Structure 1
């Protein structure tokens, strides 16, 4: 059998012992069930269970014998400058968190992270990265959080975020970006579930307002402490975010200064703001027709060239669109034209413009557009769901009624006549209640007729008396019944009369 280790475990003296740290790590790994060949802990590192910490060890090169069982690896506060492809000798299949912050990393080779295919959190903050090359994060298809703040990133090359399909949170604060990274959203293979983007403390002077109106529906984008230039489009965006109580702006509303302190605020809002309170309005149009929707809060004679945007249920349009065949057009005075309205156009619309004032909580910039009948169409297609629900309820009720009618008919007309009198007027002993449903003339004596032509009567059970000689008196003479029938347990309906006392007594038994 191969020995477990050739290294001595230590020397033991009388009354005390001297313990070897390497032996302690080996024993711990054996207790946890890890193979001895993968369980060696490098010097200066701390290995505890599935966590390996080599923080603050002044490492300029990564140890080559890192254990592969770790789920968290901390290499922060060292002097690493490059992350090569072969920075570890074996794949880290279990690694979920990799911390490389507080180093001097300025270059990361392509495919350097292919050895960590199941990584969820990657911390590269406070390093010296200046550019993100193409495919720099290749292989990180499961990554959810990426920390890049505190670097010197100026350029993001196309394809830098390819393979990051699952990325949800991205921290870019404290870099030197001068343009908004739109490729992060639109490039093939990029993130599709990004819900948090921190671009604060960069060098952004302008941002794509129309794209931000579309992106911030599902993603929180932080832009504070950037030298943003105030223009009508940016002012319209900031006013809209304040009205929507957009958290990245509300939390840092004092950190959105404009480079020009005067700004074009008065030029943007001159003679286009109405003093009337803004209230939600509803517009209705038939499918295929045209609809013109004015912008809430603006004067009827809008200013030409006004920076104005309409946020629709499916897209964002502005007045710069010059395609005459487009489905949605914004006229120069801010009116939205829906050409050839579709059912999918139903929903809430928002007019984003620099009105130059703060909005009260009860004011609304929303416009409700209904394509079709108001009773059947509702916001966001909820009418179609309601109609389907009503149809299902009506269909279920109708089906229940039909089934009930069929069961009643079966009960009334298909129940067999099970009790018949034999010769001599003697019954053969029907156990339980008898159902008289047959109208055979041969079984009805000439002097006995059912009142009112009724064919159904419910009788109480009779005691079988086949051994008693002589004809048995019938339980009830139907010829004396003046109403529709005898009810269960001998009770009578209103107006019912029985002329024979013996029959009444017999019926109550």
Structure 2
């Protein structure tokens, strides 16, 4: 009698057999350690033990920045890929300290795409196709020390594009198409020590912008189109040690 009753109960509740594996799966996801949530794309190399704190995705034919890496990742190298833009991909990595996006095909940095990267120290965007720096292009990068924008196609820089870079020490704008800068483009960048404008199309020394760079030690404006330098062009640069105007 009891065996018949048990069989009848099981048959009347067929969902139990399917529910148990699902419940076990959900339970396993809950008890997994945080490190297990890290995933390394097949064409990337993730280092740093179980935490995967470093990701190397060099020459991986990526068209988008991967979003499945460990959120605790501190270093990501995405050089030599086919990435076009950064929209909606960076908020996943708030702990990032070094990001290398050189040699991609990024045409625009957009606005506020780095808003969650307050811990970023080094950003390499060299050898891309960026033509302009929009309003708040680097908003959120309050602790950035080094920014490499060399070998792009930058022609215009919005006055607030660089306004959040209050800790920046080195800015490289080598080999772009900058003709002039609007006033106050460097406002708030009082910690900048190295500024490289080599091989642009500057028609004169941006004296009104240099005035904000009280800590500047090295200025390279070689290979531009500057024909005349006023006596007061570098008046505010009290710490300047190296100046290059060759090839003008």
Counting only pairs closer than 5 Å after superposition, residues 15-26 of structure 1 correspond to structure 2 as none
Q: 1:248 aligns with which of 210, 224, 243?
A: 243
* 2:137 counterpart residue number: 136
Contact 1:205 / 1:226 at 8 angstroms: preserved in 2?
Answer: yes
SS in 1 for 2:243: helix
Q: 2:89 aligns with which of 87, 91, 94?
A: 87
The corresponding residue for 2:47 is 48
Q: Which has the higher helix share?
A: 1
Show CA shifts across 1:282-321 (max 9, x none): xxxxxxxxxxxxxxxxxxxxxxxxxxxxxxxxxxxxxxxx
- Per the TM alignment, residue 158 of structure 1 is displaced from its structure 2 partner at its CA by 2.0
- Cα distance between partner residues in 2 of 1:97 and 1:210: 32
The separation in 2 between residues aligned to 1:245 and 1:99, in whole angstroms, is: 29
C-alpha deviations, 1:194-215, integer Å up to 9, x for none? Answer: 1111011000121145875885
How far is the alpha carbon of 1:63 from its aligned partner?
Answer: 2.2
1:103 aligns with 2:96: no
Partner of 2:185, secondary structure, is helix
TM-score (norm 2): 0.76
Give the direction of change, closer, same or farther, for the CA distance of 1:165–1:200 in structure 2 (3 Å limit). same
Q: How far apart, in 2, do the equivalents of 1:125 and 1:96 lie?
A: 17
| Distance in 2 (alpha carbons) for counterparts of 1:75 and 1:245 | 35
State the Cα RMSD in Å: 2.9
Quote the Cα distance in structure 2 between the aligned partners of 1:214 and 1:112: 26
Q: Which digits, 9 at most, give the CA deviation of each residue in 1:321-369, with x for residues without a partner?
A: xxxxxxxxxxxxxxxxxxxxxxxxxxxxxxxxxxxxxxxxxxxxxxxxx
- Cα distance in 1 for partners of 2:114, 2:215 equals 32
Shift of 1:34: 4.7
Counterpart contact for 1:184–1:191, Cα < 8 Å: no
- Aligned to 1:52, the other structure's residue is in SS state strand
Which residue of structure 2 aligns with residue 166 of structure 1? 167
Displacement, 1:117?
A: 2.2
Alignment correspondent of 2:61: 58
Instruction: Structure 1: state its 5+ residue gaps.
Output: 6-29, 258-509
Looking at structure 1, the residues matched to 247 and 156 of structure 2 have their Cα atoms a distance apart, in angstroms, of 23
Secondary structure at 1:101's aligned position in 2? coil
Q: 1:217 to 1:53 in 2, by over 3 A?
A: closer
User: Are residues 44 and 227 of structure 1, via their aligned partners in 2, closer, same or farther at CA, if it must alter by over 3 Å?
Assistant: same
Q: Quick one: which of 203, 206, 217 aligns to 2:204? A: 206
SS class of match (2:186)? helix
Given the superposition, is the C-alpha separation of residues 91 and 195 from structure 1 closer, same or farther in structure 2, using an over 3 Å criterion? same
Higher Cα Rg: structure 1 or 2? 1
What are the residue-to-residue correspondences of 1:396-475 with 2, within 5 Å? Answer: none
**Which residue does 2:80 correspond to in 1?**
77
Q: Deviations over 1:445-477 (max 9, x none)?
A: xxxxxxxxxxxxxxxxxxxxxxxxxxxxxxxxx
Q: 1:64 to 1:48 in 2, by over 3 A?
A: same
Relative CO higher for 1 or 2, CA cutoff 8 Å, sep ≥ 6?
Answer: 2
Superposed displacement of residue 245, structure 1: 9.4
Change in Cα spacing, 1:69 to 1:206, as seen in structure 2 (3 Å) is same
Q: TM-score, normalised by structure 1?
A: 0.39
Alpha-carbon spacing, 1:118–1:227, altered in 2? closer, same or farther (3 Å): same
Which residue of structure 1 aligns with residue 156 of structure 2?
155
SS of 1:183's partner is: coil
CA 1:76–1:211: 2 relative to 1, 3 Å: closer
In structure 1, C-alpha distance between the alignment counterparts of 2:93 and 2:170, rounded to whole Å = 23
Once the two structures are TM-superposed, the CA of residue 107 in structure 1 deviates from its matched residue by 1.6
